[in-house]
Each structure stands twice: as C-alpha cells, then as structure tokens.
Structure 1
C-alpha cells in the first residue's frame, strides 16, 4: 500500500479559500479555550448568533408558520430551482415596501442563506481576468469565495473617521474595464455603520460611471438604532443595476434556518439583456435550494410578523451597544472609533503600544481565549489588522461579563 500511486490529491485552492473563512479562524481560536483551567465558562462574541439567548427568541408567528407549513403536507416535494412561487412573491412584496416601484416574483431567487447567494453571484461573475471591488473591512465569505472562483479582488477602504463611508476616490482608481461589480454591506458587517441616502446615491452614480453592477448585502436591513434610517440600495435601481442579498437569519433571529434570497432591482433591465439573470438561474440549477417547508412558511412570516417584534429587537440592540460603547471607553489599550448604528457588531481598535506582549490582533484574540475563555474575531480576518470585531447581540449580563474579561486581560498585559 505504501508504494501504491493514487490519482487523487488535496485541492489547494479549496484549502486556501477555506483558510481565510471566518469559521475556520474562530475554530482555531476556540481550540485555545480550556474552561477547566480558567474556571470560566466560554463567552463567544466572535460571531453574531443572538438566537442562543432567550431575550432574542424569534417571533411566535415565525415558529407557527413553520409548523403550519409542515402540517399542511403541501411542501414535502421538490421545489423549483428558483424557489416556490408563493415564497418568492411574498419576498418581492415585502421588499417593495421600501422601493419606488414593485418587484415581481421573477425578480426573486431563494437561496440557502445569504452565503449561498454570495457563492452564486461571485461564481456567475467570475470570467477570465475579471475583478471585483470589495470593502476593507468586509465579510470574509466574499474573500474566500472570490479566491475559489479565481475572481481578482481589489479593496477599497471604509473610512472610520467618516462613519465607515466608502472611499469613492479609491473606488474610481481601482476600477478598470475588467471590473464587474462593487460590493456594499449596509447596515455594515463588521462595522455597524448605516449609509445615508446621499452617500448611497453617490455610490450608485459612481458605479454607473464605471459601468459596474452593485451587489448590496442587506442581511441586516432595518436592523438600525441610530439616527440614520435604513435605505435599500434598490432605491437607485434606475441609476445602476443592483442585486440585493437578504435573509431571514438576522432580522427574524433564525440563523440556523439558512434561508435567503437574491433580489434583482434593475429598472432598465440591463441584467436581463446581458444574460446575468439567466446565469443566476443556471447556477441555481446546479446547487441545492432551501428546505421546501421553510419556503412554505415564508409568506406568513413576511405578512404576519408584528412590527413590535422588530422594534423590540432593535431596542435590545440599542441598549446593548450603548452599554458596550461606554464600557469600552474605560479600557486602556482599546478604542472604538465609531459607535455602531446598525447590525450586531462593533470594530474595536487595539493600541498595541499599550501592551507589553501582544503582537497583533490575532495574538490578542488567541491569548484572550486562553486566559479568559472568551472569543472575539481578529480584525485581520475581515481585512483590518490590529482591530477586533465584537458582537453585541447578547444578553446584557453576558456583555457586561465579557467586557470585564477584556478589561482584566488588558490590565494584565499593559505596560507599566
């Protein structure tokens, strides 16, 4: 057997793409945790999963809708590749509430969560020599999927001193005749920023000038609690073709359901004319779709989830971020350049000169896990070295305890 030659071998491209994925990075950090040694239960604020806390439980309507879908026995069959029409129609009607025109059923394609939508779109756009513009910092799935699709990535910066606005001058310099799209995440992950109508319009006009489409990641749509309202990028679909990614995951607090969608907001029909829509359909033919019973539940979820549920979630997030932002100010060695106005995350800057033995953001997170049984995501995982990303979508007592652990860690490693 030792001398036998085999025709299979590892796929280096897949391994390289997975290595920069958020889950792999968090799992590596988790291996440093030994609760028996520290005497402290693990606190995981490295990802946004509020569903584990009772105060963030999803609406009763959501649960009943799934039960009714299962008990109806109408959704035990295979689903069409684009999705079950009632679900697609419900999503179109739901999104149209915020748009100056009505989306049609055919404008919606259901996906296995937002990540599936990302995979589909980047695969569709990956032609030889093509490049895509990604924000820095950003959500790591875009990086890993682009790498796997051999789609060149070019980064534009988000400016913390301007509330993480897009550096449009940099965007214009990066783009060329091989640029296919620019990716926006609004409300922001990982920054918690919310873009104004005026800034979004400038982005749309810039994209039109450059001849590129916009992929607008709106997984946290309407999950805002600052002074700025959420404005969907699709509002500017008459200026530039916009493809929106959304999901039930965050707003309805059901991340494990893995239900999302791709929405085409393109008043001038350019994505139809260029056959991008056909390519999306063909890509979906080759991949799986969300469980049919969840699709069957979507119409009632979209129609009947009370506004009071969403208002309460936003209230909880606002109270959490207010506390976290103020408490972080008390910790020497860290700084929060911009108070989050949406989503579930805050980016915290590390002042490495304040520490005696912390090399960088990854070292900070590894040692924090080992000494305090606490997980944060290194900023380098989202493209911003010497920051850390922290979720505030947790119970107040967990956040209070977590910040206490960060404070103790920083004091222990501080220069005296």
Structure 2
C-alpha cells in the first residue's frame, strides 16, 4: 500500500507498507535569467491599460503597433505574395537556421543601396527585429567576462531587457533633445571601457523619432573605430523617414567598424505580427568570421523563423513599390503634425516633432505640475481622468515625459490631444 499526505507547505509524509518517512518540500524557484527578464513597456501596458475609471472610451497611444486602428496596412503586394506561398504549400517545413537562401538574397539586394553592399552570406534571418537584437547582443557580449554594451538614453527599453536577461551589463549614453536627439559624443566616448563590446545605435529612433545626419553618424563611427568597438545598428524604421528627409544607413558609409545591422519587415511593411527580422553583417575589415559562425549557431536554437513569410520575402521586397513606403511616411508625418500642433500651445508641455518612425515625445514641465511627480504618475492620472493611454518616459529612461504613438487616424489623435490639453490645464499651476 502506498499513500501520501501533504501539508500546506507541500511537505509530504510517504506511507509505504506501514512505514512513514519525511520527504523534503517542493521548492520550485525561478531561474536567474527568468528573474532578470523585465520588459518595461509590456509591464506598464499590462498593469495600467484596464484601469481607466472614466466613462470615456479609451484611446490607446501606447504600443508601436501600426495595425491597431486599421488605417495603416501592409502593401497589397505583400499580402498577395504571402497568400501565394500559403496556397503553393512549398514552405510549410523548417528553413535553414540562417534562413532560406532565396530570402537572404532578396534581403541583400533590398538593402544594398547608397554604397552598402551585401551578399546572401551576410544575411541571418531572425524571428522579428527583437530577435535580431537579442542574437546580436548574445553574439558580441560575454556575461562570463563581465562585458558591457552601450545603449542610448532615452532609448528602446528592450535593449536593456535583452542584455540584462543574459547578465550582460549595460551602460548608457545620453541623447540631447536640443540637438534633435543626437548623441552626446563626449559622454558616449567617456562610457567606453575595456569591457565594452558593442555600441547600440538606433536610427531612426524610438522613442524620439530622430533621424541622424551623415555627419553625426560619421562622428559615432570615428569613436567606435578609435576604441575598436563594434556597432549594433537598429535600423528597423529605415523606410519610415518623413518626406524631405533622407535616411543614412551606417553600412553605407566608409568605415572599418564592424556593424551588425538589425532590421526587418515589421515596421516598414506595417506587419509586426509577421515576425520577420534579419541581421546584415557589414565587415569591411574582415574581423567578424567567428561572429558569423556564432550567429548561425544561435539561429539553430529556433530552427529558423516563420518559413511562410520567408518564402514570400522575394516577391514582397521586389514587388512592393517605393510609393507604398512614401505614402506611409507621409501619413505618419501628417499624424505627427496633428499632435505637435495641438500640444505646442498647451501651457507646461513641450512636444518634439519627429523626423521619422511612429512616435512623438512630450515633456511636462514638472515644476508647473506639482501634483505630478514623474512620467509614470502623469500616465496613470491621464488614463484615470481622460482615458488616454500613453507610455511614461520612464520606460525609456526619461523622466517627466510621455511617449505618444502617432499611428492612429488624425481624428483619434485630435480627440486624444484635446483630452491631454484638458488634463494639463487641470493640473497646471502658474
């Protein structure tokens, strides 16, 4: 006869043939890596989104998903290419860890512009741009050697999440709002030490919508070259630069700095759920042979990304006209101007007009809002009082700011800005 009885602490007495003996209690503890994994954006959204207490409908301007309101959609060419692949039934199996050769060649051709030159061997397909960033950080930074990477401040919160999850240390370099969010070059250089193995450069940027000039990028490259530090270039918003502005890829510039360019389909093609990203290796000095091997090995962890989208990539990239990207960028600029124009005249607020991407940041002069201590408090009260949901600047390490996603239709953004203005007027103290 075998029986067990357990107390509330999970400690059991095992009864076997009339004999009893104590068994140790269950002790299922989370891993260090699991404990380290905190995504500030997702955490904030999941904690706050359902907490509006007004009768007004919630206007969500928090997450960078261009599909949320249905006014920004993938190109018809992309949809047709994907449907064709599904119907053909040729790409239902696993793909090579680096990705399908046809897809890698199409990506290489697509990004070989303005002096940048890539072959299919330079391309490593990943499951979205976040996966590209994770793989790049993992390939370059060794937690067992106490190494660190430099990330922009303010910057996309996932950089820190991806690094600290695997015990890689992060150090920040400042972006200067008065200079269109350019990097503080002296401060950036002062952060580099003998344990620094990569500098993350986000251009165009999240959350600020900056679009760096060729001259500024060259100065960053000069610092990286001087200290022999590779660059991880997050260029996911490369096709969403507003009319009259030009995007410059780091890979298009003459440099000996090895660069891992991370990008994908999600933002430019307005299809984040398709989860298709890539790393493009730019290595004019020929020093990344071992890193290429590691990138391929890391790709083997998931047996390749979405094979259906990979199968469609050649037709997606070849058939989607430039006018699609131009129209999307123009629409985003128009929507950003709605927010900028309406909030520019509100006392205590300073909006920053972006030059690219999906976001606009707004600074609250906290001295004029004594009952609002920081961006998190602003976000909470704005949601509670006006049912407008933005992200606090603290998600990007900037205090006293909120980030507004400008992908919603103009009428929705106008209504949101009117509510934000009423909120600011209610809390403003002269």
TMscore range, shorter length = over 0.9
2:31 to 1, 4, 11: 11
Q: Does 1:45 pair with 2:65?
A: no
Contact 2:243–2:326 (CA under 8 A) maintained in structure 1: no
1: CA distance between counterparts of 2:40 and 2:102? 34
Per-residue deviation, 1:17: 2.5
Structure richer in helix, relative to its length: 1
SS of 2:212's partner is coil
Please give the residue correspondences for 1:101-250 in structure 2 after superposition, counting only pairs within 5 Å. Answer: 101-127=116-142, 128-225=145-242, 227-236=244-253, 238-250=255-267
Contact 1:227–1:341 (CA under 8 A) maintained in structure 2: no
2: CA distance between counterparts of 1:164 and 1:30? 29
Query: In the TM superposition, what whole-angstrom CA distance separates every residue of 1:67-109 from its partner, at most 9, and x where no partner exists?
Result: 00111111011111111111111000000023x2531101001
1: CA distance between counterparts of 2:151 and 2:74? 32
Once structures 1 and 2 are overlaid, which stretch shifts more, 76-85 or 116-125? 116-125
Q: Which of the pair has more CA radius of gyration? A: 2
Residue aligning to 1:58: 74
Query: In the TM superposition, what whole-angstrom CA distance separates every residue of 1:163-185 from its partner, at most 9, and x where no partner exists?
Result: 11111111211111111010011
- What 5-or-longer segments of structure 2 have no aligned partner? 1-5, 12-24
State the TM-score, normalizing by the size of structure 2. 0.92
Please give the residue correspondences for 1:73-84 in structure 2 after superposition, counting only pairs within 5 Å. Answer: 73-84=89-100
1:389 to 403, 406, 410: 403
Contact 2:33–2:167 (CA under 8 A) maintained in structure 1: no
2: CA distance between counterparts of 1:7 and 1:357? 44
Cα distance, 1:263–1:237 mapped onto 2, change above 3 Å = farther
1: CA distance between counterparts of 2:250 and 2:265? 18
Please give the residue correspondences for 1:187-336 in structure 2 after superposition, counting only pairs within 5 Å. Answer: 187-225=204-242, 227-236=244-253, 238-272=255-289, 275-336=290-351
Cα distance, 1:8–1:296 mapped onto 2, change above 3 Å = same
State the TM-score, normalizing by the size of structure 1. 0.95
1:31 to 46, 50, 66: 50
Contact 2:96–2:303 (CA under 8 A) maintained in structure 1: no
Aligned length: 408
1: CA distance between counterparts of 2:51 and 2:154? 25
Cα RMSD for the two superposed structures: 1.5
Moved over 3 A (4+): none
Per-residue deviation, 1:226: 5.3
Per-residue deviation, 1:353: 1.7
1: CA distance between counterparts of 2:181 and 2:420? 24
SS of 2:361's partner is strand
2:366 to 352, 362, 368: 352
2: CA distance between counterparts of 1:66 and 1:111? 18
Residue aligning to 2:16: none
- What 5-or-longer segments of structure 1 have no aligned partner? none
